[in-house]
Amino acid sequence: MTRPLVFVVCPDFQLLDVAGPVAAFEAANQIEPGAYALNLTSRTGGAVKSSSGVAFLTVPFAAAPPADTVLVVGGAGVWEALACPETRAYILDLSRQARRMASVCTGAYLLAAVGLLDGRKATTHWRHSTDFQRRFPAVALDADRIYVNDGPLWTAAGISAGIDLALALIADDLGERIARQAARQLVVYYRRPGGQSQYSALLEMDMGSGRFAGLLDYIRSNLDKPLSIDDLADKACLSQRHFARCFAAEIGATPARAVERLRVEAASVALESGAGSVQQVARQCGFGDVERMRRAFIRLKGIPPSALKRRAAVSPERR
């Protein structure tokens, strides 16, 4: 059975939002010939330029085939498309015909604008989460997830997360074995869980380039120590209350949450590199015990630390 996929694109779309999922479905077709028929459509049809200047050929809305799955693509062109009655009507019409609707990155705005995400869980690129929540308060946005599935609605954070979404859709259609083979062909991990955080805590904490830059360096270098709020406040030469307030305002997280995120990130690197057992990594990164580390991993990454350890043991680089 061939499943027709329709990608809805707008001028100035994000190239990887299309190319990543297309490559994943192409890989599935090579493993299971005829599994998918790939179609790109736009309001006017013809060559549509991405934000990078690279153009894809599309058919106009009226010429697009019926769709089993619709993927609405994000990018700079979404903002103009939100004000286009024809585009909104077409997406709503597709939702009445297709088995499932999906979006990549800011494509979620178009699904939300026609009411498809009301009362449902969804995600979009973390950079747009505040604006999205302001515009669409009826959507249960989870801004720190790679992709979210709620019934027939699938949303992805965008850019590389579109590949994770496509692999999840392939698994839903063809089974885990085919999705795993497609991931291997793409040379990507199979699969980052939808619940995994969109961005690295180590990168996020680099926001502390002001008064707490030195403190963050101290935390990174001393993760095996208790790092209580009293200790950190003393290190910053501030009262505990004033420190907690100023730290949260500048870093965007409480001191305790920041330390936990950095510990999880450091532990992830250690586990994926095969540096010690789960118990050893828990001690080295300051969790104290494995159960405390496991709870932190589930909360922030959506997977237990043992999953990273198993992944490292079977990765091609370690065979």
- Residue 105 annotated among the catalytic residues of the structure: yes
Backbone angles phi, psi at 41, to 5 degrees: -130, 150
3-state DSSP call for residue 70?
strand
Rounded Cα distance, 182 and 163, in Å: 10
Question: 271: buried, middle or exposed (CB in 10 Å: 19+, 13-18, 0-12)?
Answer: buried
Specify burial of residue 286 (Cβ count, 10 A radius: 0-12, 13-18, 19+): buried
Question: Is there a contact between 67 and 6 (Cβ–Cβ < 8 Å)?
Answer: yes
The alpha helices in the chain, defined as continuous H runs, are 15-31, 78-82, 85-97, 107-113, 129-135, 161-174, 176-186, 201-204, 213-221, 229-235, 240-251, 255-272, 278-284, 290-301, 305-314
121 strand-pairing partners: 140
Q: Looking at 10, 84, 105, 285, which residue is catalytic?
A: 105
In 107-156 the beta strands, taken as DSSP E runs, fall at 121-122, 140-141, 147-150, 153-156
Say if residues 84 and 19 touch (Cβ distance below 8 Å): no
Q: How many CB atoms lie within 10 A of CB 193?
A: 14
Q: Please, which residues bridge with residue 39 across strands? A: 6
Alpha carbon 286 to chain centroid, angstroms: 27
Q: Which active-site residues does the annotation give?
A: 105
